[in-house]
A and B are shown apart, each in its own frame.
Chain A
């Protein structure tokens, strides 16, 4: 039996987030009776600097060798308190995080007695686990100063330049024939009237000058092994030739897919019903001449907003895009001014009608909307329960819409063109998703770890997401996010090493008889067969193991333990949490 532990238990009020529904004083008081608990205290905000300092002082003063903090989700503060434990001279892995906020306070709002009891049970389990913790050291692995950027749109190209500026080598891989993405195709872009092809050309020019950027087109990532700081990536070129590239991190800037309307949706399929991008190309093609459709000069244009965005579920739309696509209001109102400019230049009179739900020209984009109105665009507001209908009528198009601002009067607008402002949808690429193992948010875009804390990081260490791959953005926002990903990747790679979690599988080679069950269960390919003395056994590839634990229950010999979640710890936690509660 190991020596008796000296554990400190701290219970957090989280302002009132916990203490409104959990009697934190009671939890602390009850835990004080546990055999290995040396001290219990409560804190208003355990995460605050002052509370941390108090705990550090106490840990040192009382020579504690274990620490349990009952507070919020470990997603928020596990690392905060591990770092604090380290500053206090503890091994960070002797710290155990208990979540009494999400699991007690928030799950049992209004049941203070029950929430408090549960808090006591799970904190006891935490103490039992803590009593069996070992001192562990992270694995320090060397990193490669190279990054792969996937997707050569503006966000990806600009990220590559920044990475190179910081002294990292970059491989940019682009699935298509040409780099430049969406911006290369749309011409003039709001809000500052920048010309997309020029932006792309300028970036490519800079990339050509950079020695340490290599751009591959017609290239796809097909396989990936290794870990943050040292991945081996297989890239297939032109669908046939494979190259192997060694990189420390990936930045995924694969962009979006524009929404494709259903047949008949707002007249889609009728001649003269076009997307905004089509319309802009028509306008650009018209130059200083006449804007025509089917040879007839265009007199009236209707714009319909929110096509493929902000959808609700219905029979015709079983998998709605519930999100707002963010960029379309600005792009459409900007187009209004371009059309007005064309009118002035060409002398061709064109009426424009904008059929919207809410005009979401946020922040300074409001100026684009204001200009559109000043330029003569008429705005009509429709309700999603009665969306506009587009029909063919006398060789032209007719839009029937109830304007909610005119007492829901039904208006009929004759138009030569109906422009659908189609939204952004997630780009589907199952190969890439499977190779990178990135997950998706509810809206189908790639999922960040935390939208505010770690917005460009994913669950896979070393794989960063940016631009519209993460969610709809305008071009400036895409680039800002891709540079944020550069900063994070730089933060991981510029030091030359990374420390990896030691909470991974351990195999008792004495017990192991190599049955290959663990190998089959491991999604990370972290098991290898090796010869050990006179027999074959399984070995864990430490840099690949994520401590996921799928191997543990399948091992008939009970030869595998996950450090930090060892069988004896789990059993002790179950026992401790079952202990009866004696209440006064």
Chain B
């Protein structure tokens, strides 16, 4: 290849080195010493690679820290080396002039590294733990964490896999994962306060939310979904019991902007809360005598008691929000005249659809809203021993039906024109109603109300059958001719749809269905000072939707009132976590059955308006919270934010992309470790005391997780340790015919260290060959034997657990009498093989970075041109070409530095 030696723009760096393990650090320091400007990119939060996690290193038994920290220190302070940790390469391509264009990005750590002092407070308070990859999953780490004590740079990192499905699915983005993890940690007040950040009506939601979060819970794919609302109920009850009044008052910096809100339902209250928090002076106008909207008038007390609504509303009024009840707003200009700078319409949808058939005006025929309103304000309609027919199949049909049962109705039936499957009500509502004695009359529609003396006495119904699907996709019901019949009914309750309560507003603000028109993003209407949200905009929906709309409206109204642009996004929600990843990683999670929600018996339910759902106990709530699988990793509980003194945690952080031009590239991308579970007969997945070689190294390291060498199953000191070599190496069954090259040595090292830590333990190494080939290695082998470590030539085929918990190793006794043998041990270490890091190959976006037959980066001529790949100017260092020990890695990466330097000099056209 000829190089274009004409003038070129200066390079950003002479060399980029990818991967800051031993090889990368060595190459970086060598290149830096030669005077080249080096960029050292590391995808993890700390440099040091795998070697820094080791206990000691063979054959000298220096501690790994002693060998690796000098290299870490030298690159991190090298004047010619720029470190870029927690950064990933997106692509490398070669230019005609021989240099390389690199696209990379610094990952979002949600921590400002410049400000972080590495104090570790965030990790202490973090409520979520995950398996600690730096301890090879032996123990857990917090989500906010510093990788390990010797980390460089010593900065915290917060890991997020995505938004937890529960939080993502919640229309209000209430941080379900966050308050669940706080309840799990016993921090109920913090849990409650976190909830306030997204929805102020915590109590109401804890009783009456349809909980879409639960329908998207990953645990649902296993033993059953978390009862998130039940946990919330516990949290809200606990908080309200301890705090009859809110802990706060109006904000200190009150503004002189005045906002009018029309309607005190969930949307209006929510908007008021967030506007008042910003300092605006908020007045809510409510036509009813009591605030709360549908929460108070439409939801029966057995689901949502009034005192809970009252306490929820205090969360809003404590901020200084004024609620004027019994005050129906009929004119928007009137509000402007009163001096309100902006108005929010949140009047809901409680007007009822009528049924235009004969007899609809008879006494005894009423709307469900009317019925429930009467019930809730205590004007109990007399249904005792009467026959009640509810018409409709939605959730709003269930409430009057179940209320009527409680009021002593003789018979309650729900008349619905489609089948059970087509009923829009939630299954659990239908089942609850049926349990309580409500009869379902399906595929049936009323065609006439029959009265006597102006009072309803019967309903004539006709049977239906399902025809072609209509525009909603549901099959259209068609009357069956001749199936008319008359049924005795004392009261008919129509639950066939609600209409927006927007009669007082001008037609040009509404669409044909009466819904108010507002921008879906900002909720601003055609009048910039008027916003509209909630059911009067969206049509009837869930409480949490209305609350979400209220908070959204408040966000944009606040900006509008402050004269700020509305062209900004609302809520920094990130992508939803891929559940399959969570499930894959949770393969080994213990089974946790759902906590059974305590319920009143059906008999009791039929008699009382008391909540049929009984609260969970503290223990139950925490136990249920324990079942959370931490799908998003970070739960967004925000505790770290509250303790970080330099305020360096920033969840708005986004990855920072960079494009660079560098002279040459050295790939020191390391290797992967074979999962010992790929050899199922060895029991790694099944038995806690069968551990992997890397795990054993952690048990022996100075920063060891248990501060002693203990069996993971019961914390006992092992008395008989077996090392099983060549697990997944020299093994065609896992498609890895290669020798792992370091297993014999690292196992002997571990065996020697284990002897030091546990002088009484017997240690046996099961091997095929003992490959102690490097400088001082064979001597180390001889030393191991003379220390009393037993070497057994024989491949272990199977490991089983004995009744006493110990492990039985089945192996072929090759040197003794031969045949199959069984030996008992109480800790087994599987000396696992290694895998290529195939990600390395994908980084190069040119033609192709060539791999060898085993997936490692291929050296085109290991003898004459070591470290050279098929891409001119792109070199490979260390274990990226195949696993090797540290001395060989150091030499190989030195060679890469020499090669890269020579390339740069050639490119400079010497």
Contacts and interface: CB of A to CB of B under 8 A. Distances in A.
A83 interface: yes
Contact of B894 (A79, A312, A485): A485
A363 B884 contact: yes
A48 B152 contact: yes
B737 A370 contact: yes
B136 interface: no
Nearest to B27: A487
B864 A366 contact: no
Given A365-B739, A407-B817, A452-B890, A487 B34 contact: yes
A475 B769 CA distance: 23
Interface stretch (A14-22, A274-282, A566-574): A14-22
Interface in B116-173: 118, 149-154
Interface in A421-453: 441-443, 445, 451-453
Contact of A362 (B702, B771, B867): B771
A166 interface: yes
B898 A166 contact: yes
Nearest to B63: A17
Interface stretch (B70-78, B193-201, B305-313): B70-78
A486 B898 contact: yes
Q: Kindly name the residue among A323, A451, A487, A494 whose own CB sees the greatest number of chain B CB atoms within 10 A.
A: A487
Nearest to A166: B901
A119 B30 CA distance: 36
B895 A487 contact: yes
Of the four ranges (under 10, 10 to 19, 20 to 34, 35 or more), the interface on chain A belongs to 35 or more
Contacts of A553: none
Of the four ranges (under 10, 10 to 19, 20 to 34, 35 or more), the interface on chain B belongs to 35 or more
B891 A484 contact: yes
A483 B899 contact: yes
A53 B852 CA distance: 43
A90 interface: no
A77 B74 CA distance: 11
Interface string A102-138: 0000000000000000000000000000000000000
A297 interface: no
A43 to B, nearest CB: 10
A50 B77 CA distance: 12
Contacts of A77: 66, 70
A483 B866 contact: yes
A48 B738 contact: no
B150 A477 contact: no
B35 A484 contact: no
A455 B887 contact: yes
A479 B703 CA distance: 37
Contact of A48 (B154, B862, B891): B154
A494 B73 CA distance: 22
Interface in B745-778: 769-778
Nearest to B22: A452
B882 A363 contact: yes
A452 B62 contact: yes
Interface in B436-488: none
B769 A359 contact: yes
B886 interface: yes
B704 to A, nearest CB: 8
A165 B906 contact: yes
B883 A470 contact: no
Contacts of A48: 69, 149-152, 154
Nearest to B897: A487
Contacts of A453: 67, 70-71, 890
Contacts, number: 238
A15 B30 contact: no
B587 interface: no
Contact of B771 (A17, A47, A358, A364): A358
Interface in A444-487: 445, 451-453, 455-456, 470-472, 475-477, 479-481, 483-487
B897 A15 contact: no
A495 B31 CA distance: 12
A80 B863 contact: no
A219 interface: no
Contact of B154 (A50, A158, A477): A50
Contacts of A557: none
A14 B702 contact: yes
A577 interface: no
Interface string B827-863: 0000000000000000000000000101000000011
A79 to B, nearest CB: 8
A369 to B, nearest CB: 9
A45 B65 contact: yes
Contacts of B882: 363-364
B123 to A, nearest CB: 14
Contact of B777 (A165, A324, A359, A477): A324
B769 to A, nearest CB: 4
Contacts of A45: 65, 69, 149-150
B15 to A, nearest CB: 12
B489 to A, nearest CB: 78
Given A405-B815, A484-B894, A366 B738 contact: yes
A203 interface: yes
Q: Kindly name the residue among B30, B707, B771, B852 whose own CB sees the greatest number of chain A CB atoms within 10 A.
A: B771
Interface string A10-53: 00001111000000000000000000000000001101111011
Contacts of B154: 48-50, 53
A202 interface: yes
Contact of B901 (A80, A455, A490, A492): A490
Interface string A378-409: 00000000000000000000000000110100
Nearest to A322: B779
Contact of B867 (A53, A322, A480): A480
23 contacts: A14-B65, A45-B69, A45-B150, A47-B69, A72-B66, A77-B66, A80-B73, A83-B77, A166-B898, A202-B864, A324-B778, A360-B769, A362-B771, A363-B739, A442-B779, A475-B863, A476-B866, A483-B866, A484-B30, A485-B894, A486-B898, A490-B901, A491-B33
Given A445-B775, A492-B33, 7 more contacts: A80-B73, A165-B905, A192-B862, A324-B777, A364-B882, A365-B739, A404-B814
Interface of A: 14-17, 44-45, 47-50, 52-53, 72, 76-77, 79-80, 83, 87, 154, 158, 162, 165-167, 189, 192, 194, 199, 202-203, 309-310, 312, 322-324, 326, 358-367, 370, 404-405, 407, 441-443, 445, 451-453, 455-456, 470-472, 475-477, 479-481, 483-488, 490-492, 494-495
